Structure 1
């Protein structure tokens, strides 16, 4: 499902979630535009509220914002969508952000003087685990967050 508007109605969230519960997960696509990050953040918030996981919303929003911002920037030139997937498995929330570029991210350890390079560092710091996996025509970056 591709969403073009930055506002999610209860019907849109229910329609996406009808394809799978929190164990099966949900996945949506966003155009690689500046609004992709706030749109994905709103989607994550809505889904986690529906799944009764309010305690993980703040961390999940921060992680998805960083990952989607990077994926949208990488995908903008080609105009290919960014995907966001969520699933709960054995007490963990898995966030997966995919794009159709093959360049893998590199975790940097920025200093206080570095204006850039903090995004993946933040994701790594907030996650129990994180990683990447290549797939045909692109990659997925994932983060695991503890949830009740």
Structure 2
């Protein structure tokens, strides 16, 4: 990654053109809101709502909280395909499967990585994304 690209996505106080990364607490809030919405709608309502939002790089919770999943290199919101890959395959299928197989170790590692470089979790790194404020 070039220095300019890294600079483009990092948080800079007083630089309004730079996207602000969502804090670990903000990301946890989005996970909780999505979880509640999935439970309340038996997953179906969440999936229908999400299918309308994926092309904007959002889930229902991310829309409510003003977060956008963006390309790590360009800071532009990811499209429908990449969002579906990130949310449905990486976070749901892989995280669930690997979480069960590793007795939760995979899930813990994924969550703890949010405190590292550019607040990217393991699934963010696999999808080459960051989560920013809209």
**Same fold (TM > 0.5):** no
| Larger RCO, structures 1/2 (Cα 8 Å, 6+ apart) | 2
The structure that is strand-richer by fraction is 1
